[in-house]
Amino acid sequence: MDAKAILSSHFSKDLPFPAVLEHGGDLSEIRVRILSPYGMVISGINIPELNSLVTVHIDTMTVAGIISARSGGDGSILYIRPASSADQPDSDN
């Protein structure tokens, strides 16, 4: 799981950015709108139901999570193994 690596490499990246959501063997293109050490806010088509286990692919990195909120084409994912707050990049950089 690459929550720490994703946060480090994409924290200052222009948002939103593209990613792929995997659920039950299906792949959907999504946009990551907000990124934090504990999860992300996404938008896209075919966001799975609440509490669904998903994998998000960003570049060559992956992170597992659970759909924690869902409304139409928007949703949020809580990481199963979050990056610790000590891993969070300094927002001044």
pLDDT over 70 at 63, yes or no: yes
Q: What is the mean pLDDT of residues 78-93?
A: 59
| Coil, strand or helix at 10 | helix
Residue spans of alpha helices (H) in the chain: 3-10
pLDDT digits (tens, 9 = 90+) for 27-51: 999 999 988 888 999 999 889 999 9
Q: How far apart are CA 58 and CA 64, in angstroms?
A: 11
* Residue that is written with structure tokens 């570049």 in the block: 59
> What secondary structure letter does DSSP report for 60?
T
Specify the pLDDT at position 31: 94
Give residues with Cβ within 8 angstroms of 14, minimum separation 6. none
User: 3-state DSSP call for residue 39?
Assistant: strand
